[in-house]
Structure 1
Amino acid sequence: MSDLVLVAGTVITMDPDRPRAEAVAVSGTRIVAVGTLSECQAALGPDAQVIDTGAAALLPGFVEPHGHPFLGGVSTQPPVGLIAPWVAPTWDDVLAVFQQALASTGPDEPLVFSGFDALLHEHAAPHAAELDEIFGDRIAAVLDNSGHGIYFGTALIQRYGWADNPPPDPEGGHFGRNPDGSLDGQGFEVPVLGAVMYPLIDHLDDPLRAGALFLAEMSRAGYTSTSDMAYNPDQKPAYEALAATVSCPLRVNLWEMSTTDTYVDTDTFAAGDEMLRKAGVKLWTDGAVWVGSAATSFPYLDTEATRRANIDPKTAGGAGALNYSRADLDAILDKAAPAGWQMSFHSNGDLAVELALDAYEAALRRYDLLGTDHRWRIEHVGGATRAQLDRAASLGLYLSMSPFQTYFWGDLLDGQIFDHEHGSRWQPTGDALATGACVSLHNDGPVSPPSPLTNIQTVVTRRTRAGNVRGAEQAIPLDAAFRAQTIDAARTLRREHLVGSIEAGKLADFVELSADPFTVDPARLAATVAVRGTWLGGQRIDLDAFLAGLPTPTDPSPQPPLGRCC
């Protein structure tokens, strides 16, 4: 690798000691100097190549602290039919995708669709009876956009042998059932999604390419580091193959699901720790707002929106939405904490956050970890109270938050799903930042499209997709928002010594922007500023080369199974 000096209109470093610069000196994969052009040339010598990136602003590559990149690809790329609301906005649009798939595939080919949202599609989640009317005797499964629900027809129930022998509910998940105990074609939470989807994986065409396409989509949005927060070791061959492909655009950190038999085991990867590493253990203390399974102390409202989504305020939410008992969590932590893993709990509602805090605090005390740099995490924290956020900060917990929930669903959360008091402050970024905790932002792809600039725009303005302001008091400053998507996101992944800021000694991972984001209207940040490209380890990413360099499905090594989660 040659020595390079990169210049741009401005270099925004996210380093408080030198927030702006003119150039960056790169030797091999590392940054060796940041400063003026002459300073960077002097650091490398006269033979260094000076490259004008053409970018108005060069920043550290964006960091996605909570995502599902391989599964995101498998569940959104062909032959899976994407029906997410930003692709198919209405139920009629969804039906059109269904009909196109029926017309263009053979009668024995299973059909899988992803992205249904009862609230935004304004249609109740389908049961088997409705899917049977659409698909007849075709095997069909429809994944909820939340990642916490799946819907399937009678043909699938019969093919799996579940008509005469309905399976029991697995730990952490449940099937919908008719009064006689038979399956009604609905299932909820990760273990059930895996049970329905895993047998269909062999029918997917080239899952490795599907995963690569999602990595490419993340790269186009400016990400250079990401995480997989639902990792199963079955996916290891896929990640190894992607990391070994020329111009692979992202570094990946893996949190193994606590539902596996190996979640406390260590692992190594041929790609090396800088490119691919197992980082921690993940579980889900509750579900998702959009299917009525966020564990909240405050009720869901009885409105046209919730009725349309088949969310019953009498049964939705509450403690019944918790996926684990305290004893369950203690048992998992008693295995993972002594092994040194960084824990991560998905917790949307305030009851789920409280359960996570209680379990975390007790385990931190049991294993003498209070006051240490453990960086245990809580994901989403949508309905958390200020007192809970203060408690999280006092325990040294890191908070990874979901601006897309405000952006896409904020107008429903505030007054349609929950009352104004709770719905308007959903995703309380302002309160979280005020506690002093390390706060990061994520897209949770494929739950929302990769767009760190939209995340930043949303937490700075609290504007929904329709332009309405919800919970203005929870807005945070622009600089803090960029930190939450760069250096603080890197801290959340324990990668701040490698990525997240432009400083000497760190990996040369950059994103090129078309404008200085600190000079534009924050309310139009995502529309005004474009990502021009990314760099990884001192190499400009070539997505065409990456996709062309993938192993083909006929090669013996590169076609791994998906794993038992979707």
Structure 2
Amino acid sequence: MRKINRTLISKSISTLVMCSAPLFASAEVVVLKAANIITMDEKNPRAEAIAFDTNTKKITAVGSLKDVSASAPNATVKDLGTTVLMPGFIDPHNHPFLSGITTQAPAFWIAPYVGYKSWADVQAKILKEDKAAPAGVPLIFNGVDKLLQQAPTPTKDVLDKLTPSGRPVLVIDNSGHAVYFNTASIKMLGWKGGKPPANPVGGSFGRNQDGTSNGTANETAAIMAVAGPILPKAIPHLLLSGAEWYAYMASLGITATSEHTYSTGMYKGYLALASVPNSPLRMSVYHMAVDADAGVKATWPDSSMVRKNGIKLWADGTPWLGSVAQSFGYLDNERTRNAEIILGPLGEKGMNYTRLQLDELLDKYSPMGYQMAFHCNGDVGFDVVLDAYEYALNKYNLIGTDHRWRVEHLGAARADQFKRAESLGVTVSLAPFQYIYWGDLLDGTMFKPEYGAQWQRAGDSFKYNIHTTFHNDGSVSPPDTLRNIQHMVTRTTDVGTVHGANQAVTLDQALKASTINGAYQLKRDTEIGSLEVGKYADLVELSADITAINPNEITDKVKVQGTWLGGKKIDTAQFLKEIKAIDPSEHQALGEASLKGVHSH
């Protein structure tokens, strides 16, 4: 494991103070004093106080309390005591509406990492909620995982036994690539004779030998056909569910994120979330390339709160179902067989698009000036994406420009691919959760150690100037930035095992991946990501100095105490109250719009 860089500790608190103007009216400037301020500004890494203008919402001074106070002598000074301040955390790849609708009450989150370790736990939960809920009300469960929980495929026959009340039930696979449902759901859908319609393009329905539904649907088009009619009856306030995920992210210190499966049906929803006074997150959206209107310009009244960044594309599928474009196969054992893993290797057969189709998509969107973002897990997929990127970047004279095209997840990436990404100006967002929660299976059960132990090559990625970030990809994992930092520094899984210690990163690198690099990737680094004069006062309050804590104890000893957005201390309870007051009937389209992105993980 690499030795942690303690540069931030060794540097004394800087008294450098930079002000956008020498004096401000007392009603407009607030000074915050903290036990320590980690600025993530390499020119001024530590401070004692920070000042911001409540009108512009931006920082006016950073440095010692004496010098910051001198810059605004009539300012209000708030002493935060033992609190440590940092720039608000940035999760550059998430899915707030989908996550909120499928994990927050009245839906039930049954993933292994939120307490449902086994299939027995899942069965008990479904039985319990079926008994407790009002008669006939559909129930939504999200997070069943065949690998981690050793769950069977929850077909109609399995779910009928778990729902003796006869109510409709929908269970979403943790991968997001499949849904499972019972007989009552089939009746609600109105399928004549219990037989599903013809398979839609890009999706499929599971069928028994007699053509009747077996209670399964795979990939977006089929999933939407099943879940679309059920969700609105199960989730009465879809906007509030999205707001719950916003509040959850804020409770874990996040102040900026993205919607990586945006569609036009979400426009009003994100407008509503951004419009209330206590909105806790800045949002950047990436429109799904499969939408006919993906290239249409979209603007919101306050572009600092919501803006359209780019286009989202998919290279391959998910490692948890074996639908990954990679050069090596899965190990053949009871665990992988029970999970019905495609052993492969699939190579380019695991790609969602042919190279010609990728070129056509990039030809369509590149001239529009959008930032591209590719979902990709396999090493073969990464090669194809980089080939397509190189072709398009050269064709449209973008090599050497500040395009910041992205690639997401990259579980099976090779070190040489990061070097190539650097040469193209491509930035990457890694998915620590894949290693944290699945690492003990990846190494030796799913793959040979030379592949599984190196999954999520964070150490290799930081050898190159590609502005590596960490994301959580809600709802595939909780949006827990501190957990990401701890486990990428210690290279431990959730149970404390080390695999591929050479892929550990320094604490400085992990903090950058969660702050300033995230801002760069979202094209917001002139606004957020570090505490500097002229940037928004987006802050996270921590209970302790993360750089002074044993990395193995970060999640135990460092707690998020609150966040600030634009110099306003966020009240998430008030935020949810504000959203609850909005008429839910105005946002019923959110269910179908969110379901379009369930294949993103």
TM-score if structure 2 supplies the norm length? 0.90
1:55–1:532 contact (8 Å) kept in structure 2: no
Instruction: Write the distance in 2 (CA, Å) between the matches of 1:197 and 1:546.
Output: 28
Mean alpha-carbon deviation: is it higher for 1-10 or for 409-418? 1-10
**C-alpha distance after superposition, 1:161-217 (max 9, x if no partner):** 37445332423x444455677654333333433333222232112111111111111
Which of 364, 381, 388 matches 1:359? 388
2:97–2:590 contact (8 Å) kept in structure 1: no
1:300–1:317 contact (8 Å) kept in structure 2: no
TM-score if structure 1 supplies the norm length? 0.95
Deviation at residue 319 of structure 1 after TM alignment? 3.4
Residue aligned with 2:148, SS? helix
Instruction: Identify the residue that residue 188 of structure 1 maps to in structure 2.
Output: 218
Q: Does 1:53 align with 2:80?
A: yes
Instruction: Identify the residue that residue 333 of structure 2 maps to in structure 1.
Output: 303
Instruction: Write the distance in 2 (CA, Å) between the matches of 1:357 and 1:180.
Output: 45
Q: Does 1:70 align with 2:97?
A: yes
Instruction: Identify the residue that residue 139 of structure 1 maps to in structure 2.
Output: 168
Instruction: Write the distance in 1 (CA, Å) between the matches of 2:209 and 2:361.
Output: 34
**C-alpha distance after superposition, 1:34-92 (max 9, x if no partner):** 11112111222x22011112343110000010001121111101221211112322111
Instruction: Identify the residue that residue 307 of structure 2 maps to in structure 1.
Output: 277
Residue aligned with 1:6, SS? strand
Instruction: Write the distance in 1 (CA, Å) between the matches of 2:134 and 2:574.
Output: 32
1:253–1:493 contact (8 Å) kept in structure 2: yes
Q: Does 1:15 align with 2:41?
A: yes
Instruction: Write the distance in 2 (CA, Å) between the matches of 1:95 and 1:523.
Output: 33
2:443–2:449 contact (8 Å) kept in structure 1: yes
Instruction: Write the distance in 1 (CA, Å) between the matches of 2:497 and 2:274.
Output: 41
Deviation at residue 383 of structure 1 after TM alignment? 0.1
Q: 1:18 to 1:389 in 2, by over 3 A?
A: same
The 5 A counterparts of 1:543-562 are: 543-552=572-581, 554=583, 557=586, 560-562=589-591
Instruction: Write the distance in 2 (CA, Å) between the matches of 1:169 and 1:524.
Output: 49
Instruction: Write the distance in 1 (CA, Å) between the matches of 2:147 and 2:100.
Output: 24
Instruction: Write the distance in 2 (CA, Å) between the matches of 1:482 and 1:538.
Output: 21
Mean alpha-carbon deviation: is it higher for 455-464 or for 299-308? 299-308
Q: Does 1:205 align with 2:236?
A: yes
Q: Which amino acid aligns with 1:309?
A: A
Instruction: Identify the residue that residue 275 of structure 2 maps to in structure 1.
Output: 244
**C-alpha distance after superposition, 1:392-423 (max 9, x if no partner):** 22111110001111111100000011110000
Q: 1:269 to 1:307 in 2, by over 3 A?
A: same
Residue aligned with 1:533, SS? strand
Instruction: Identify the residue that residue 12 of structure 2 maps to in structure 1.
Output: none
Residue aligned with 1:122, SS? coil
Instruction: Identify the residue that residue 128 of structure 1 maps to in structure 2.
Output: 156
**C-alpha distance after superposition, 1:346-376 (max 9, x if no partner):** 0011122122112211111221111211111
Q: Which amino acid aligns with 1:484?
A: A
Instruction: Identify the residue that residue 246 of structure 2 maps to in structure 1.
Output: 215
Instruction: Write the distance in 2 (CA, Å) between the matches of 1:57 and 1:317.
Output: 48
Residue aligned with 1:230, SS? strand
Mean alpha-carbon deviation: is it higher for 316-325 or for 157-166? 157-166
User: Unpaired segments of 5 or more residues in structure 1?
Assistant: none
Q: 1:12 to 1:328 in 2, by over 3 A?
A: same
1:291–1:309 contact (8 Å) kept in structure 2: yes
2:196–2:205 contact (8 Å) kept in structure 1: no
Instruction: Write the distance in 2 (CA, Å) between the matches of 1:39 and 1:375.
Output: 37
Which of 523, 526, 531 matches 2:552? 523
Instruction: Identify the residue that residue 116 of structure 1 maps to in structure 2.
Output: 144
Instruction: Write the distance in 1 (CA, Å) between the matches of 2:579 and 2:229.
Output: 25
Instruction: Write the distance in 2 (CA, Å) between the matches of 1:181 and 1:16.
Output: 64
Q: 1:153 to 1:326 in 2, by over 3 A?
A: farther
**C-alpha distance after superposition, 1:298-328 (max 9, x if no partner):** 0111123212312242x57443332221122
Deviation at residue 559 of structure 1 after TM alignment? 5.3
Pairs aligned (count)? 562
Instruction: Write the distance in 1 (CA, Å) between the matches of 2:545 and 2:488.
Output: 18
2:170–2:179 contact (8 Å) kept in structure 1: yes
Q: Does 1:484 align with 2:510?
A: no
Instruction: Identify the residue that residue 71 of structure 2 maps to in structure 1.
Output: 43
